[in-house]
Structure 1
Amino acid sequence: MDLLFAYQQWPYAETFRISRSAQANSELFTVYLRDGGLVGRGECGLLPQYGQGREDVEAALIAAAPLLAEGATRARIAAEIANSSARNALDSALWDLECRRAGQDIWQLVGVPRRAEIEVDLTISVNPTAKMRDDALAAFGRGFRILKLKAGQDEVLERVEAIAAACPSARLIVDANEAWDIDTLNRLAEPLRALGVELIEQPLHHKADDALAGYGGAIPLCADESCSSIADLDRLSRLYQAINIKLDKVGGLTPGLELQAAAHARGLKVMLGCSGPTSLGAAPAYVLGTLCDYVDLDGPALLLDDRAQPMAYEQGKLLCFDSGLWGG
């Protein structure tokens, strides 16, 4: 197999702001695996929260090229390539190529029933209260009934209250992206519960979340930055009630499916998340999303443009991808 890849910046429709950063573009790598006349494609983003950048992903892909030339399997790539984002793009491309070799679609190969659509949330970036309220109203008007509200340290209750009043029937998730400490979490938990928030995502930094042993609130907590592999589950199951699986964090669809099954076996809820993918990156995530309790797969909806044969959103549902895009 021959490996080709390209680094690209895909602009967001609006600047995407969370507690620790603001991005005008989603930085992505597109991977192509060529085997004779067949080509498999994959995509990955960057993980700056773990200190990983463009150069790290590029170096990992270069290191993978001779392995793939020898016919490396998904298992070998998982064992020998450390960078999880690069592993995701390669895992996805290998699945896509295997589908084309076999003349079967991804649903047949992984043994997961195809779903025509999945209900997804839409993320509301950190902004002044009026802007967040207006963005939430616009999302609600497009049919999204689950809203993920990004939060920092300031005006959290004011912003959530404004959105809850504007969209009273919406389901609300608050994602702090590591911005709080345990005192802030305990102070906000009961007021947020009263406003209808049903899940709080990654309130504390992933290197300081043992403090969650002191959490006394009623809202379940979801581990995002703290969860990157099955090895994390024993510790996380004592601190959280849910985990967020992103294919870039865990290294692709293959380990993602394993992590989902292991988390559910421990009684944890599972969210399928994403890191600004186009539809090419969202397609393999969609497969995993059919098995999850929450689906935060709104990346393509937040971008200014998308791939050919893009996935579509209708009334808060993400429609299944066409096999011409990926996985067929």
Structure 2
Amino acid sequence: IAMSLTAENHCVPLSDGSRIPLIGLGTYGDPATTPKGTAYDCVKLAIDIGYRHFDGALVYFNEHEVGQAIRDKIADGTVKREDIFYCGKLWCTFHPPEMVRPALERTLKALKLDYVDLYIIELPMAFKPGKIFYPIDENGKYIYHHTDLCATWEALEACKDAGLVKSLGVSNFNKRQLELLLNKPGLKHKPVSNQVECNPYFTQPKLLEFCRQNNIVIVGYCPIGSSRDASWVNLKSPPMLEDEVLVSIGKKYNKSTAQVALRFNVQRGVVVIPKSFNPDRIRSNFQIFDFSLTEEEMQAIEALNKNVRFVELLMWSDHPEYPFHDEY
């Protein structure tokens, strides 16, 4: 895989016949601190740089900006709609089957697009359905909802059959939860991808192997570590980008540790979606197609695995479908 990847063509096949670019731009920014228009400007810039894959979600509160940027770059002739790969996500409050299509339609309406390329179940945990994305009771406890992942999946299959989405996937699913879908009687459309944390400190060897056996592409979030937002990030995890092994490999190729970490995943067929709203970093994160790592370097980076998550989501660890109690 390594040799044939270029900035212009770095797509890998999905099991349903579609293709996914190996690098995308994550578009999450804290709505409270991100100035309006930031996502719009950054997505336009990213398209000019060469990005074709954008990872978004209704709960990021900026899909209207991302969609506007995509449509403006289509209108000015830079790209066609079919050049762009957009991933949207079904949030936890929309798991009941009758709420799935309306949720996807909200995303399409915000984007002002006719379809998304990939739509994924953001988390295997359902929350109390309703208008509030993070429902809590009077004691400040999250209000959960009975989860029937198979019923939610069937509603997603109907959205694909209706042409609203090209491919269906999941996120933060463990092996048991993936098997629940894969073994579902009457399964029409297999999940093509599983978006999970994946980086040199959390390389996911067992989940990666299971997904490979089942033709499921891993999309890695936090591929260069994570922000240090204590509300949802495990700060006990040391800053990965200061790792000596990554630093020394970076020196050899005149690349940053972030570029080495991204190249590591891309070279083993893991899609990366580094989030940045910094123009210089958006640019540098994409500069990973003019060098490749040796087998020894790949093994040295694989050996950095600490099996420690940046994103533990401990606030939901009492949910019956919390995915991270299992080994993988």
TM-score tier (shorter): 0.3 to 0.5
Structure ranking higher in strand proportion: 1
TM-score (norm 2): 0.41
